[in-house]
């Protein structure tokens, strides 16, 4: 079965505005195709992704909230279908964009164990990162985003982050600055694509077998902090449970099913 890569462009510029970050994505896509991996690119800001979440879906369905279009279930289905997730973000104020942060916050709610594997739903998937900006910040953003992807269950291979940085102060962006001809950036993109592809193939053949439920039980038997045990082991979160669909994932007509 063909592996799939999903690249989320988290620029804050809606289509058809030009995105400097898209320039790096355009470099990565043909490299994934050479690896035999199907690739899809989604510009997150073009879709209505609610920042809010609710513990009680009666609140969600009540009144004005029910009339708002939330495309998160659709995007979550795309994320869960993909074997590789690449977050592509401009660097803003030494951070990833707010759109990228919202995606990470939403995925942080995926904390119920798959009843079949007893693992988090995003286990056996691979994470990568593309960044574009002026001045510094790439290492800080990479440390934060890749660490969070790892916490969510993604496997992060070596050299999983690629970036282009312009000069200090206001200067040309990736496109005007001919970032596509920058040796270090081109090298890192190739590292990222090759290593995420390699690890995704490995995990397809040999997935993790870690039983997180068994690990939690063993930890409970040697621990005394009763409140943490009750919250994190006995009562797993139900937020967005209706969107998780922990069985086989399928996206049809913009809806998540399975």
pLDDT score, position 223 = 78
Tokens of 233: 């082991």
pLDDT score, position 1 = 75
The chain-wide mean pLDDT, for the chain, equals 84
Q: What is the pLDDT of residues 14-68, one digit of tens each?
A: 999 999 999 999 999 999 999 999 999 999 999 999 887 655 445 555 545 554 6
Whole-model pTM: value is 0.85
Give every residue of the chain whose pLDDT is below 50, as ranges: 56-57, 63, 67, 231, 233-249, 253-258
């Amino acid at each position: 079965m063909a592996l799939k890569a999903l690249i989320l462009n988290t620029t804050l510029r809606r289509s058809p505005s030009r995105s400097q970050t898209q320039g790096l994505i355009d470099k990565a896509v043909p490299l994934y195709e050479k690896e035999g991996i199907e690739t899809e690119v989604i510009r997150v800001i073009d879709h209505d992704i609610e920042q809010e979440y609710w513990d009680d879906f009666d609140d969600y369905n009540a009144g004005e909230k029910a009339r708002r279009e939330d495309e998160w279930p659709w995007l979550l289905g795309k994320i869960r279908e993909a074997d590789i997730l690449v977050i592509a973000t401009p660097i803003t104020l030494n951070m990833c964009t707010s759109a990228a942060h919202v995606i990470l916050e939403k995925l942080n709610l995926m904390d119920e164990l798959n009843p079949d594997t007893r693992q988090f739903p995003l286990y056996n998937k691979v994470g990568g990162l593309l960044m574009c900006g002026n001045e510094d910040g790439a290492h800080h953003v990479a440390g934060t985003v890749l660490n969070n992807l790892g916490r969510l269950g993604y496997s992060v291979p070596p050299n999983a982050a690629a970036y282009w940085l312009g000069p200090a102060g206001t200067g040309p962006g990736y496109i005007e600055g001919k970032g596509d001809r920058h040796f270090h950036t081109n090298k890192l993109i190739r590292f990222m694509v090759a290593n995420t592809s390699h690890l995704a193939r490995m995990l397809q053949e040999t997935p993790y077998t870690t039983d997180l439920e068994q690990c939690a039980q063993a930890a409970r038997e040697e621990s005394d902090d009763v409140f943490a045990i009750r919250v994190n082991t006995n009562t797993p979160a139900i937020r967005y449970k209706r969107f998780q669909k922990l069985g086989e994932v399928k996206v049809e007509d913009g809806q998540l099913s399975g």
